[in-house]
Amino acid sequence: MKAVLLDADSLGTDIDLAPLREQLESLEVHPTSTPAEARERLAGADVAIVNKVVLDADTLNALPSLRHICVLATGTNNIDMEVAKERGIRVDNVNAYGTASVAQHTLMLILALATRLPQYQRDVAEGRWGQSPFFCLMDHPTLQLEGKHLVLVGQGELGSKVAALAEAFGMRVSFSARPGNEANDRRPALAELLPEADVVSLHCPLTEHSRHLLNADNLKTIKKGALLVNCARGGVIDEEAALAALREGQLGGLAVDVLPAEPPRDGHALIDAVNESPRLNLLVTPHSAWITPEARQNIVKLTVDNLRNAAQES
């Protein structure tokens, strides 16, 4: 059985692929692949192992021997799932590989916004502490998390982990109803929770119901000075509207680890705004919440499990 890993570099060069080699008879590894290269490299392969390389209908239809696709991620939007189903190609993804990593990153963003860490770090680097008339700086207002209300969208494994960490800081946590299912959900709708939320953190998939879940209209109703964090998917918030709310002072802080187009080769308004003003409480991280070595190695482990399960079921 021939297996081909199309974009190994997306896992990082420090990740041990030995467990994959031990599970497979043959593994061909490529650091990166274009869609055209993917079709050529998968010729004669039984198994495709891929993270972000697009395997569209034309590619799948050109690969008669392909029987199994292992996606090194949770999302499968780079695979034409309909054609895969028609062709009888099994598609497995990996879930919950980076729960601890992403939850940690989420709390880091909340803490950094609450303490105005980037602004104070900039002040120290620019020598302002040494120029202070007394022992400290108090130019940027901070927020104590204990006793504050955290609203989470998404009560899966990740959202629940973030809730547990936040409760350790003494925060009061509420989960909102699933977007698009408010009428059948016992949890309060996000619209009900926004006026009393001190922090809103998003951990839901991007769907037709969650696209621009936070937008110009409902950001007007959010508690003034609230912090907004998006470690879910770009597009769950209307980034332009959120930036406007931040500039106007309706939001007290905004942090995102995701953007609608990644990498943002054409730039993005949030990236442009990072250095716009030292008082703008804005953080943009490069989709790095998941990248701890532990999380990336766990992807390999879970993929081995998928390969083993497929072999046992065939």
Catalytically active residues, by annotation: 233, 262, 287
**C-alpha–C-alpha distance, residues 115 and 30, integer Å:** 43
Structure-token match 């899966």, residue found: 156
Please provide the size of the chain in residues.
314
Contact 92, 71 (CB under 8 A): yes
At 214 the three-state DSSP class reads strand
The secondary structure element, H or E, covering residue 99 is: helix 99-115
Residue 251: how many other CB atoms lie within 10 Å: 25
What residues does 70 pair with on adjacent strands? Answer: 49, 92
Contact 99, 121 (CB under 8 A): no
Task: Tell me the residue type at 212.
Answer: H
The secondary structure element, H or E, covering residue 213 is: none
Query: What is the DSSP secondary structure assignment for residue 66, as one 8-state letter?
Result: -
- How far apart, in Å, do the first and last CA atoms of the chain sit? 13
**C-alpha–C-alpha distance, residues 142 and 140, integer Å:** 6
Contact 144, 179 (CB under 8 A): no
**C-alpha–C-alpha distance, residues 201 and 156, integer Å:** 13
